[in-house]
Amino acid sequence: MRECESCGRCLDDDATACCEAGGLPVQAYPGPRLLDGKYLLERRLGAGGMGAVYQALHTGLGKLFAVKVIRSPAVTSPQAIARFRIEAQALGRLSHPHVVGVSDYGVDPRDGGLPYLVMEYLRGESLLAYIQRHGPLEPAEAVRLLAPGAAALDDAHAQGILHRDLKPSNVFLASADDGSLNPKLLDFGLARFAGVDEPPLPDTLPPSGSAEMPTVRLRRLGHPALPSPEGGLPTALTAPEGIVGTPQFFAPELIEGSPPSRATDLWAFGILAYATLTGRLPFEGPADELLAAILDRPPAPPSLGNPRLSPHLDDSLLAPFERDPARRPASATAWIEAVDRAVRALEARRLRAQEAPRRLLLASGIALGMLLLGATASPLAPFAAVDGAVLDAFIRLAPPRAADPRLLLVTIDEATLHSDATPLSARGDAAGILLERAFSAGAAGVALDLLLPPAWGASPAFGRSVVAHADRLAFAALSGADGAVVGPEALGAPVALALGDRASALFGFANLAPDRDGTVRRARAGFRTRDGTDAPSFAARALSFLDAPKGSARGTFLVDHRIDVSGLDRLSFHGAEGALAERRSLAEGRLLLVGAEFEGSGDLHPNPRDRGRPLTGLELQALVIQTLLEGTPLGTASRLVSAAVALPPLFVVSFALLWMPSRVATALALAGALVVPSVTALAAFLAAGLVLPVAAPTAALVLAGALAAATRLRLPSLAHPSQEV
């Protein structure tokens, strides 16, 4: 049989030229192209020191195979042929998707015996040829192509089979129908019985496109015909058991005479990966220098051989090169997985560095958008209701504040009604007497939280007291929904004439605006009338009788429900005159608040501080007065302050959810978003009496988190391999 030296086509012995390429036929093997009576050799696919690989047609099946013909004096003796059969049977037992399957073997009788192996026919190229065309591979691609080979090697090791000649030319990249590459290991176990001379590899892999790197015709045990380094290498390095292979891939213990093992295969696999990533072999030089390098020094860090390779990968890539075989990785797969983790961690770091500016910008946009949305939504009824309930909870958590001792409640209670059957409207004289007694006892002022019964205006005793003490009296007036004012008309004409313009100054508006749940959380110090003049509230009018009033004449403020009005001193209306006569000090310097506290009055209000004890209208007015007296200690945060407080959490949550790699971290961040506004508001309330909105900021944070999480799904994953869930 002849072969065309140009295209590798197999020709009959009488052929004088190749009709396809015009190359000259050269003698390959004596005898016909039909091998062992069933395999018709069609074209040489590659050649090496052990022989050649041919595309062959099985004449009975009509199917193409790759047939490796072993052509070496070392395997033509009867003993070598017998060993070949044993090794071929062992290789036939290998069944792994990433090992080139051996389907048959035999010994053709010609020329003293030609052993051959029959393998599946694949289309593609070797890893060596692939590196020649593409240059050193990127780490992620290298891991993708090497991981299947690592799994195949571990499977062979588990069956007691060593490869002994791992190198880039023995990794074949088969082309799948979808265009992907399917790596497969070649030549398992052949070096064990080959006993052939092996030429050295070059110190470096030639660049892509080099004329010295044919991608089809493989020689010298699968390596292309390349110039050897000056000085050369020994053509074979043989250990006591006849260990042979490619010297540049030998582990130190092989050179020292130890038998091959899984660890020596792993060393060679490490060199294979080193060459794949750097385009260089780690040990270079003439024979003596090469042996000394393998025995005495570790390989140079791969990042030095390929400046595009990160130094962060060096440690993981050098793990197979431990001098002590026991310290090398447990398996090829375990090592490749470690390299893969290092590669993915490096890629994650690079991606995070690239993504940080974009995600900062996205987080800022989401935070600002949700801030505006929250500020717009905060006054809406549902959010206001939640904020009111949260404020009540804060009030219950805050320590109670003592009621001002300058306030004295005079209550028209059940005892007052039961002690005397006279209706309230007929008690004008009693009211006048009480006023006189209070001012005689040194009262700073008296405020009647009552709409004056018209009959009181006709009482001489009441009228005289009002005229005499008008500058220290406050009466309640109410403004209806239609703007009509109720209260001043009951003063009576004689008193109004006597007081003149001072009559209107007696009255303050007692209007209170409860929230939807009935709780009065805000009050006003003053009102604007229809004619554009300012009028004080009932509480502000009453407060003016005490020394150094601190309340504002206008504006809305939060009622300080932390004040424990249950501790205020009280006198029953029916016994107040006698009590003041007996103890004049009861009223001295104090403001007397007179109002109804009997069952059925209908003047009861929810109590944020104590849900089980409603507030009477009189107590509520006392709360309003003391709140004004103390300078309205509870303050509503301005929009600017609210924005300054809400923006950082919005940004942090948005950025965290755009940045955090795992779903667990995302869930924790969203859960944290629910408590940030409440915790911040509680701290501000307890520390400074500042009331911050909670409901709208909480909703804004949740929306910001949801929007950021949804946006992250459209962005590259930043997950470190160890953080993925």
DSSP states of 605-616 as a string? E--SS-TTSPEE
Query: Over 70: is that where the pLDDT of 282 sits?
Result: yes
pLDDT tens digits, one per residue of 371-392: 999 999 999 999 999 999 999 9
Cβ neighbors of 130 (< 8 A, separation 6 or more) are 145, 173, 181
CA distances from 318 to 31, 140, 311, 336 (A): 50, 17, 11, 11
Q: Which residue has the higher pLDDT, 75 or 206?
A: 75
Q: Which domains does the chain have, with CATH numbers?
A: 2-120 (3.30.200.20), 126-346 (1.10.510.10), 359-390+636-723 (no CATH), 405-629 (no CATH)
pLDDT band for position 72 (cuts 50, 70, 90): low
pLDDT at 81: 76
Residue 185, phi then psi, degrees to nearest 5: -85, 140
Q: Which pLDDT band holds residue 616 (cuts at 50, 70, 90)?
A: very high
**CA-wise closest residue to 594 among 462, 421, 505:** 462
Q: Report whether 546 contacts 404 (CB < 8 A).
A: no
**Sequence letter at residue 429:** D
Q: In what order do the strands lie in the sheet with 63-70?
A: 34-35, 39-48, 51-58, 63-70, 114-120, 102-108
Please give the structure tokens belonging to residue 699.
């909703």
pLDDT of residue 224 exceeding 60: no
Looking only at the bridges linking them, the beta strands covering 569-572 and 407-412 are parallel
Mean pLDDT calculated for residue range 559-586? 91
Confidence of residue 73 (pLDDT cuts 50, 70, 90): low
- The confidence band for 398, taking pLDDT boundaries of 50, 70 and 90, is very high
Longest dimension (CA), the chain: 152
Q: To the nearest whole percent, how much of the chain has pLDDT over 90?
A: 51
Q: Where are the beta strands (DSSP E) in 123-275?
A: 124-126, 171-175, 181-185
Distance CA 277, CA 523 (A): 76
Give bridge partners of residue 126 from the DSSP assignment.
172
Residues 593/578, Cβ–Cβ less than 8 Å: no
The pLDDT assigned to 719 comes to: 66
Residues 6+ apart with CB under 8 A from 242: 195
Round to whole Å and give the CA distance between 29 and 722.
57
Burial 264-283 (b: 16+ CB within 10 A, else e): bbbbbbbbbbbbbbbbbbbb
Find out whether 128 and 217 touch, Cβ atoms under 8 Å.
no
Tokens of residue 563, six digits: 């004040």
Q: What would the two tokens of residue 681 be? A: 């508001």
Q: The dihedral of CA 372, 375, 379, 381: what is its sign?
A: positive
**What is the rounded distance in angstroms from the CA atom of residue 364 to the CA atom of residue 655?**
8
Q: What angle do CA 390, 393, 398 make, to 5 degrees?
A: 125
* pLDDT tens, position by position, 496-519: 888 988 898 899 999 998 999 999
- The rounded distance, in Å, linking the Cα atoms of 396 and 611 is 9
Write the DSSP symbol of residue 256.
Answer: T
Comparing C-alpha atoms, which of 609, 610, 615, 677 is closest to residue 643? 677
Question: What is the Cα–Cα distance from 144 to 450, expressed in whole angstroms?
Answer: 88
CA atoms within 13 A on the CB side of 658: 25
Q: pTM of the predicted model, to two decimals?
A: 0.65
> How much helix, strand and coil, in percent to the nearest 5, is found in the chain?
45, 20, 35
Separation of alpha carbons 674 and 169, rounded Å: 60
Tell me, what's the pLDDT at 367? 94
